[in-house]
A and B are shown apart, each in its own frame.
Chain A
Amino acid sequence: MYKWFMAWRYLHTKLIAVFAVLAVALCVAMVLVVMSVMGGFLDMIKERSRGLLSDIVMDAGTLQGWPFYEEFAQRLHENLPDVVEASTPVIYNYAVFRVPEVSYTKPAQVVGIRLKEYIAVNDFGKGLYYERYYPGTTHLGPQKQPLAGLPPLPDELKGAIRTWLQEECAARRKTAETYEAPRRSAPDDLLETIRVWLEIEWSMLGKLAEDDESPDITLPVELQDVIKQWLRAECSAADATKEDDQEQTLTLPDGLQALLRTWLPGRRITLPDDLRNANIRWRNDDNTTPEDIAAYDRLPFVLGWGPGDRVFDFTYDQPGYDGLEFPGVIVGCDLIYQRGRDGTYKRSYPRGTMMALTLVPLTASGNINVEGPVRVPVRYADDSRTGVYDKDSLCVYVDFEMLQHKLAMDPQELVDGRKTKPRTTQLLVDLQNGIDLLAGREAIETEWDQFLASQPSEVTDVEERLLSYVEVNTWEDLQRPFIAAVEKEKVLMAIILAIICFVAVMLIGCIFYMIVQKKTRDIGVLKALGATGPGVAGLFIIYGASVGVVGSVLGNSFGALFVHYINDFQDFLISLDPQLQVWNPEVYTFDRIPSAVKRLDVLGISLVAVLSSILGSLIPAVLAGRVWPVQALRYE
């Protein structure tokens, strides 16, 4: 019993034990934090990868794709109705992506999808920006430039402005004492200029709505000049002497101001019905809720913020579509936008912006098609954020049939009049719920082998070769290199952690050696009182284990707390100095530091910590057991 008793005593009376406990706690906390973050990262990667692909991916293994995918898909649905839920073909190829208007180019992976089917087999739909706020508006078919419209000024306001201008005019004449009724009312183009100013300056940017203090509505100098010019021209006929009000400012009369103040906040931009607010970029971030947009539907629109100016045109009274029809494109978010520090994007291209893809069509045998590279103009329909940086900075998505045609993967007429089979690079297969991934793969593989065996004779040599390249993979198979890389990193981490453990063992060894040295006399006393050598050694091992247990509890608590607040902690660091940002979302794919404290990790780490502590105390414990009582007791 004295072992436990003395170990307990030493644990809470010896200051040096605190150091040992702290050393263990620190190591434990460090290991837990690292493991939680790495584990969280790996989990997130796996989850995202799953969301990107479908359960089963049948890949061509080549760039030119494989034929007979339609026949095989049909066969799958017929023969394996219990296994296969849905399937969709996808074409992968490479393209030069270009935004002509701003001369911006990027290398891109062009993905041909049937949007509706594609969304059904994976999580792609969840990452679409406009689709999220305006469901049903994103499509890849031919589309025009959507335009917002602005209704004309109401007659009442027009009248008031005209009256004001006439009064200004009349006032000028009065000073020259040649009063005369105005001959003409203000011309429409002047009114239009005033209207544009009103829309831009006050209504559109929401100044009146947001500013409670209702500042004076003052005319900008340029507009004043335009009005003065008109006034001068108008007055000069009657009074040529009065031409020197250049310095005088032109102000709106109170009556007109009051009228504007009641009228402007209610002003609305109107949009094409089917698109509703789809062109409106409100706060430019992913946190905008549909409620936000509904509340501010008149507010945000693109004006002078960059290439998006075209979306709104003052010459349009009514909302609508304009321009030529081009196929839609969904662009990976990071391909065209910079992610802000806070993880949001400034979407500077409005919907409908013209973009272009330059493709290199290949023949079935992989040669460049006689026509050479083709340029495909497309319209920006939406952007996609899957959360995997590799994808989001590379992929553009277009319609499957369109891409197939442009890449000459659709049926081509041969010299002898026969037609080639259409090709795809992938067939994504979604399994029924509850079907095991590997079992599903097996079933499809068997089906594929049978399909190959029963091929009709019309298959050409090239086609047969292409078919032989086809691989049936699960999503896990395809992500393996990536997951393996992270897992390899985990092994590396484990080695570093082993070193940390070793350091902890050494540290505890040193500390315990010191304790044993200092306590030699006490050990002698214990032995004189009848304690055996193994007993005393046991005491120090129990002591070591207790240090390990207390250290683990402290370390795990601290580690878990740190992991829980890790993002807040980083925010705090960034608030001190942006340079202190540890987690770069562009490098690590996710905005936030992913982390998950797992019970098994905690258990494992604690076990290792206790074992390390025992290991560290082993040599000092043996030494303590060997203390010769007489030697220890001889002198004070």
Chain B
Amino acid sequence: MNKTILRARNLFKAYHMGKAVVRVLRGASLHAERGEFLVVMGASGSGKSTLLHLLGALDVPDKGSVEFCDRDLFLNGAAARSRYRNHEVGFVFQFYHLLPELSVLANVALPRLVTHGVIQWFAARREARDQAKAIIERVGLTKRIRHRPNELSGGELQRVAIARALINKPSLLLADEPTGNLDAASGKEILELLEELNRDGQTIIMVTHDAQVAARAHRRVQLEEGRIRTK
């Protein structure tokens, strides 16, 4: 099996705001190895989130390619990218992005609901629930399983978000400043959780501008002027 799980080549991305053009990525290239804990650093506004969104196929680059297991994400259609997001990638956002109407359990199980059609779901629902419960236990929120997101603290929310990202056993966990919105203690807990996951073999690409946070990674790269510099 190939050791390199994700390879981004020569990515260009610009935003057009009226007449002004913001060239965010200008030939960024990046690769991630299986089982690696990679950190992308950069100043605020340098384009880290933009890069991560491209890696997660949430957005489309102007130029360049992203290969997942040697397959180019942007050569296939939108349906294939949806599948990729659902099956291969787990996304953790800075602002958690949980659905307020759903309980912790439902939020965590949501990617699984997306995976299955109606009929398949009835076959798979027991297993899905058990898995969701197991993951919630793993992130230490078993007591909160019936709660709504607005009843949880920031750290707890982020743990729910991580649990949700993990439910479909993704090959890749993409985290966009998961600690950016948390106090030091909660941030530390989250980082420890991620490290623990990584130790169990989870490939993680994390974005941060915090050097202390970055210190925990195997490998750090710097995003500057739209390009990746390896440290």
Contacts and interface: CB of A to CB of B under 8 A. Distances in A.
Contacts of B164: 529
Nearest to B113: A2
28 contacts: A1-B117, A1-B120, A1-B121, A5-B106, A5-B113, A524-B97, A525-B98, A528-B85, A528-B91, A528-B97, A529-B85, A529-B110, A529-B114, A529-B164, A530-B87, A530-B111, A530-B115, A531-B86, A532-B78, A532-B82, A533-B78, A535-B114, A628-B59, A629-B58, A630-B59, A633-B93, A633-B97, A636-B95
Contacts of A524: 97
Nearest to A10: B101
Nearest to A14: B101
Contact of B97 (A13, A525, A628): A525
A633 to B, nearest CB: 6
Interface in B99-152: 99-102, 106, 110-111, 113-118, 120-121
B79 interface: yes
Interface string A1-21: 110110001100110000000
A9 B102 CA distance: 8
Contacts of A636: 95
A1 B82 contact: no
B53 interface: yes
Nearest to B118: A1
Interface string B50-64: 000100101100000
Given A1-B116, A1-B117, A10-B101, A532 B79 contact: yes
Given A530-B83, A530-B84, 13 more contacts: A1-B114, A1-B118, A1-B121, A13-B101, A14-B101, A526-B110, A527-B58, A528-B85, A530-B111, A535-B82, A630-B53, A633-B97, A636-B95
B96 to A, nearest CB: 9
A522 interface: yes
A528 B118 contact: no
B111 A633 contact: no
Contacts of A305: none
Interface SS of chain A: helix, strand, loop or mixed? helix
A521 interface: yes
Contacts of B78: 532-533
Contacts, number: 72
Contact of A531 (B114, B116, B120, B121): B114
- B interface bracket (residues with beta carbon within 8 Å of A): 20 to 34
Contacts of B58: 527-528, 629-630, 633
Nearest to A533: B78
Contacts of A9: 101-102
B114 A2 contact: yes
Nearest to B49: A634
B110 A2 contact: yes
Given A527-B82, A528-B91, A530-B85, A4 B118 contact: yes
A376 B117 CA distance: 87
A184 B56 CA distance: 132
Greatest chain B CB density within 10 A among A4, A9, A633, A634 is at A633
Greatest chain A CB density within 10 A among B87, B118, B164 is at B118
A542 to B, nearest CB: 11
A149 B56 CA distance: 109
A527 B86 CA distance: 9
A104 interface: no
A526 B97 contact: no
A1 B120 CA distance: 8
B114 A526 contact: yes
Interface residues of A, number: 28
Given A1-B116, A2-B114, A525 B99 contact: yes
Interface string B199-229: 0000000000000000000000000000000
Contacts of A529: 85-86, 91, 110-111, 114, 164
A532 B79 CA distance: 6
B153 to A, nearest CB: 16
Nearest to A521: B97
Given A2-B110, A528-B58, A635 B82 contact: no
Interface SS of chain B: helix, strand, loop or mixed? helix
Contacts of B100: 522
B56 A528 contact: yes
Contacts of A5: 106, 113
Contacts of A521: 97
A120 to B, nearest CB: 65
B110 to A, nearest CB: 6
Interface in B142-187: 164
Contacts of B86: 529-531
Given A1-B121, A633-B58, A530 B114 contact: yes
A253 to B, nearest CB: 94
Contacts of B95: 635-636
Contacts of A13: 101
A457 to B, nearest CB: 86
A170 to B, nearest CB: 106
A2 B87 CA distance: 15
Contacts of B114: 1-2, 526, 529-531, 535
Nearest to A534: B79
Contacts of A4: 118
A13 B58 CA distance: 29
A622 to B, nearest CB: 15
Given A13-B101, A525-B99, A630-B53, A530 B116 contact: no
A154 B159 CA distance: 110
A533 to B, nearest CB: 7
A630 B50 CA distance: 9
B115 to A, nearest CB: 7
A10 B84 CA distance: 27
B56 to A, nearest CB: 7
Greatest chain B CB density within 10 A among A529, A530, A532, A535 is at A529
A134 B163 CA distance: 89
Nearest to A9: B101
Contacts of A522: 99-100
Contacts of B121: 1
A522 B97 CA distance: 8
A200 to B, nearest CB: 82
A528 B84 CA distance: 10
A630 B47 CA distance: 13
Contacts of B120: 1
A635 B181 CA distance: 12
A530 B58 CA distance: 10
A630 B49 CA distance: 10
A532 B80 CA distance: 9
A516 to B, nearest CB: 15
Contacts of A629: 58-59
Interface in B64-90: 78-79, 82-87
A486 to B, nearest CB: 47
A12 to B, nearest CB: 9
B178 to A, nearest CB: 14
A524 to B, nearest CB: 8
Nearest to A634: B49
Contacts of B102: 9
Nearest to B87: A530
A636 B110 CA distance: 20
A529 B92 CA distance: 10
A635 B111 CA distance: 22
A515 to B, nearest CB: 12
A416 to B, nearest CB: 95
